[in-house]
Amino acid sequence: MGIERITPPVPLRTERLVLRPVVPDDTTAIGAYCADPEVTRYLPFPALDADGLAKRMERLVAATAPVEVGDFLGLAVEHEGVLVGDLMLRFSAAHDEDQPPSIAELGWVFAPEYGGRGFATEAAGALVDLAFTTYPLHRLMAQLDPRNTASARLCERIGMTQEGHTREDYPDRDGGWSDTAVFGLLRREWEGRR
């Protein structure tokens, strides 16, 4: 007997956005911003070349119904029919191996030309709600390079609290080490804000 696979209720519409599964036709749009070294500067992957983009797209397109630790949900974010970014919800831990995952990690990347309009906040907030209403999660978290102040502010806007800062725990692309800031949101905190 395995863990039940739950298909999330997408597409999901917010006031200005549509969150939907990533499809192969999104390759050009995702490739445009993921090839930009400024966009990927604080991400766990470098600016993508054609091979890197093909691998990322394969993973994103397949990420539709996570069920166990390591699985993730990938969502494209559209505004007025234009893809402006993508989101990720990755199951990162389970309280018991026979139970569904209880902790998940959020991630996001957006095209810079759509920055400053609140799209990332609106989309990430919708993903938080989707995560807690769809899955039996206890906690959501985000891990980011502390120099990524825009993502740190986004975490705070969606109700997350900075819980830690670990020093030089992640290899950077220059052969050195980067720090990690950890943000978290517990189910009871999310419920209290609703």
33, part of any domain: yes
Q: What is the pLDDT of residues 59-110, one digit of tens each?
A: 999 999 898 899 999 999 999 999 999 999 999 988 777 778 899 999 999 9
Burial of 73 (0-12, 13-18, 19+ CB in 10 A): buried
135, part of any domain: yes
Angle 124-106-46 from CA coordinates, rounded to 5°: 105
86, part of any domain: yes
Instruction: Please tell me whether residue 39 adopts helix, strand or coil conformation.
Output: helix
pLDDT-derived band of residue 3, with 50, 70 and 90 as boundaries? low
87, part of any domain: yes
Whole domain around residue 45: which residue ranges? Answer: 12-193
Q: What is the pLDDT of residues 113-125, one digit of tens each?
A: 999 999 999 999 9
CATH number for the domain spanning 110: value is 3.40.630.30
What is the number of structural domains in the chain? 1
Q: What is the pLDDT of residues 17-67, one digit of tens each?
A: 999 999 999 999 999 999 999 999 999 899 999 999 999 999 999 999 898
3, part of any domain: no
Residue type, 117: R
146, part of any domain: yes
2, part of any domain: no
Neighbours of 32 (CB within 10 A): 14
4, part of any domain: no
Query: Is the pLDDT assigned to residue 185 strictly greater than 70?
Result: yes
